[in-house]
């Protein structure tokens, strides 16, 4: 099965700091890379997504950096806030977003 490897498994960041989560994929046919945010007891919610024809996408405090040659992409959360404390999943898919292949998740805790 084509995998998406995600790191770190958990992350603690001080309020105002930068949170960085990394993912690497194997399937070169992936053409859509979303990041999902999940709070305890809730379903995942789309945070931001990128296609491989761009190297960076920014939406507010959230930025995806994409390196096609290295088959890696990362999520940067600027000015991290306690409300950002959640589990973050990266994913990849083909064909305009059919089945999503998820990473194993990163538990982010933002401390005051």
Partner 1 sequence: NAGVMQNPRHLVRRRGQEARLRCSPMKGHSHVYWYRQLPEEGLKFMVYLQKENIIDESGMPKERFSAEFPKEGPSILRIQQVVRGDSAAYFCASSTRRDRKNIQYFGAGTRLSVL
Q: Residues interacting with partner 1, by CB under 8 A?
A: 6, 32, 34, 36, 41-46, 49, 51, 89, 96-105
Beta strands 106-111 and 10-14, pairing class: parallel
The nearer residue to partner 1, 13 or 50, going by C-beta atoms, is 50
**Is 17 or 26 the residue whose CB approaches partner 1 more closely?**
26
Nearest approach in angstroms of CB 15 to partner 1 is: 26
Q: Are 49 and 32 in contact (CB under 8 A)?
A: yes
Measured in whole angstroms, the distance separating CA 14 from the mean position of its chain's CA atoms is: 19
At closest approach, how far in Å is the CB of 1 from partner 1?
A: 9
Closer residue to partner 1, CB minimum distance, 77 or 90: 90
Burial of 54 from C-beta contacts in 10 A (0-12 / 13-18 / 19+): exposed
């Amino acid at each position: 099965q084509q995998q998406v490897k995600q790191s770190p498994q958990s992350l603690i960041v001080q309020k105002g700091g930068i949170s960085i989560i990394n993912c690497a994929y194997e399937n070169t046919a992936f053409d859509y890379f979303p990041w999902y945010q999940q709070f305890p007891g809730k379903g995942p919610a789309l945070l931001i997504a990128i296609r491989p024809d761009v190297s960076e996408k920014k939406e507010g405090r959230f930025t995806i950096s994409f390196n096609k040659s290295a088959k890696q992409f990362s999520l940067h959360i600027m000015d991290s806030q306690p409300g950002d404390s959640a589990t973050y999943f990266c994913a990849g898919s083909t064909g305009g977003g059919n089945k999503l292949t998820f990473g194993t998740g990163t538990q982010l805790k933002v401390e005051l």
